[in-house]
Amino acid sequence: MSRIVDAVTAVLICDGELLVTRRQPFMKAFPGYHAFPGGKVDAADADGASPATTWAAFEARLVRALLRELREELALNLEQTPAVVTSVRHLGIALTPPPAPIRFNTHFFALQLRERPSLTPDAHEIAELHWASPGEWLRRYSDGALLAAPPTVAVMRALAADIDAREVPGLHFETRETFELPLIESVAGVRQILVRSNTIPPAAHTNCFLIGDLQSHRVLVDPAPADDAEMNRLCQLVQRFGIHEIFLTHHHPDHRERANQIARHFNVPMGMSADTRARIAAKAAGYFEGVAVHEYREGDVLCRWLGRAVRVYAVPGHDEGQLALMPDDRAWCLVSDLIQGFGTVVIAKPEGHMGRYFESLRKIVALDPRVIFPSHGIALGTTYRLRETLHHREQREKQVLALYREGRSVSEMLPLIYADVDPRLLPLARMNVESHLDKLREDGVIAG
């Protein structure tokens, strides 16, 4: 069951320009996203001094929350300098669509400022901030240079058309173009479709991506609907755009279940690594019947995004044949299961290899894409989560090594390492411990 949380956002406008921040990549909510300042409405915002006359038309707790957030995030105290605000208008409410576990019910307020204030961003939340016209912000988004939630883009678009706009079409998800399944375009031209799949809890969906310029080769990445009804919804959605190919990042069922049926439905080929093709053929007899298959290797061009070549990168470890996708300007990278938006990646034999997993993490970190798209969860700004995952795995390896040297068996290690893990997931945790031990043997750290 999703939890709905009230929130507020301040769209600061001065001399025809908007203030947009970039959130720190370590934030739990929307890490690394470009956004307007704001945050959750706290319980303490229910009481307090009555807002100034400028705010009299609005709910007091929302106003108190908005003023508090501006003080905390930007050191902007509008209660001490109320005259700097010449007008306030409520642009509307954006409610995060399902199936997000936390749904933010965000009130957007436009604040017209008499002059540009001196601001000091809180480094715990804001990485940087800039002023630019709505048209310039929209141009940067359209060029693939911004990671932004749909409501942010909707505000930029509305204010680019009319800086004095009083409402924002598409701000609330129910007023946007409707699709058969949830579709998010947090980076222009990368359509992330949330498809319910037979995956490992706590995940319930696998991200399916539609990439490729509309006037050229369009590719559907990792369609794996859980049942026929979900598959039909996905096919109806895809029909709106049309596709020329289905691409599989690796062979696991939650990335390729029913993908062959979709390929036959649209009469398109399937692309993947040679290893992925061989593993699927060995596990699912007849899977490729009636489907042409193209094998991709490191460096191959899959399609074009905003005119830029999207290349294939080998990222083995979780699965020996796993491939990632990234345009030449490194604006983003679809990393598949190299990282999880939540939870831990399982490295299981025979296809998993902890040493190569470490190498793949380091490889993508070194390439330094601006945005990471995992197969489960939302897009992530910068490689911060990849670096954190690598650090976590390195620390886990040290922990496993220390327990091994104490003479602990794998069964004895599990309750010590994974004390807070759902018992149903302990068999997967065991696989990771065993893979760490295999790596330590291969590295010559412990006896073979």
Residue showing tokens 């959130």: 23
Q: Confidence class of residue 154 from pLDDT cuts 50, 70 and 90?
A: very high
* Predicted pLDDT at 1: 62
Residues 188 and 108 in one domain: no
249 belongs to a structural domain: yes
Q: With beta carbons less than 8 A apart as the criterion, state whether 305 and 213 touch.
A: yes
Residues 408 and 372 reside in one and the same domain:
no
| pLDDT exceeds 80 at position 112 | yes
CA distances to 59, 227, 228, 266, 375 from 195, rounded to whole Å, are: 37, 10, 12, 18, 10
**Domain-embedded: residue 64:** yes
- Across the range 371-385, mean pLDDT stands at 97
Q: State pLDDT tens for residues 212-247.
A: 998 889 999 999 999 999 999 999 999 999 999 999
Long-range contacts, 402-405 (Cβ 8 Å, 24+): 404/437, 404/440, 404/446
* Under 8 Å between Cβ of 53 and 155: no
Is 447 part of any domain? no
Average pLDDT rounded to a whole number, residues 321-327: 98
Note the pLDDT tens digit of each residue in 177-188: 889 999 999 999
Residue-level pLDDT at 200: 86
We report the CATH number of the domain holding residue 111 as 3.90.79.10
From 130, 151, 175, give the residue that closes a domain: 175
Identify whether 244 is part of a domain: yes
Tell me the per-residue pLDDT of 18-60, one tens digit each, with 9 for 90 and over. 999 999 999 999 999 999 999 999 999 998 887 777 888 999 9
Distance (Å) of CA 253 to CA 131, 204, 222, 258, 294: 46, 13, 10, 9, 19
CA angle 374, 432, 413 (to 5 degrees): 140
Residue 346 scores a pLDDT above 70: yes
418 plus 343 within the same structural domain: no
Q: Are residues 28 and 151 in the same domain?
A: yes
Check residues 81 and 133 and name the one with the higher pLDDT.
133
Total domains present in the chain: 3
Compute the average pLDDT of residues 270-293: 97
209 & 320 share domain: yes
Q: Quick check: is 448 in a domain?
A: no
If asked whether residues 214 and 293 sit together in one domain, one would say yes
pLDDT tens for each residue of 406-429: 999 999 999 999 988 888 888 999
Same structural domain for residues 270 and 308? Answer: yes
How confident is the prediction for the chain on average, in pLDDT? 95
Are residues 299 and 160 part of one domain? no
Residue bearing tokens 């690598």: 390
Q: Given a cut of 80, is residue 279 above it in pLDDT?
A: yes
Whether pLDDT at 343 is above 80: no
Residue 28 resides in a domain: yes
For residues 170 and 189, membership in a common domain is answered with no
* Interval 193-204 mean pLDDT: 92
Q: Looking at the predicted structure, is the pLDDT value of residue 2 above 80? A: no
Q: Identity (one letter) of the amino acid at 240?
A: R
Q: Give yes or no: residues 340 and 432 share one domain.
A: no
Integer-rounded Cα radius of gyration of the chain: 24
| Whether residue 191 sits in one domain with residue 147 | no
- Choosing from 144, 175, 206, the residue where a domain stops is 175
What percentage of the chain exceeds 70 in pLDDT? Answer: 100
Find the domain containing 404 and state its range.
397-442
The Cα–Cα gap between 152 and 160 comes to 12
* pLDDT at residue 54 in the model: 81
Identify which has the larger pLDDT, 423 or 380. Answer: 380
Inside any domain, residue 291: yes
- Residue 174 confidence (pLDDT) above 70: yes
Could you tell me if residue 301 is inside a domain?
A: yes
Considering the domain architecture, whether residues 111 and 238 belong to the same structural domain is answered as: no
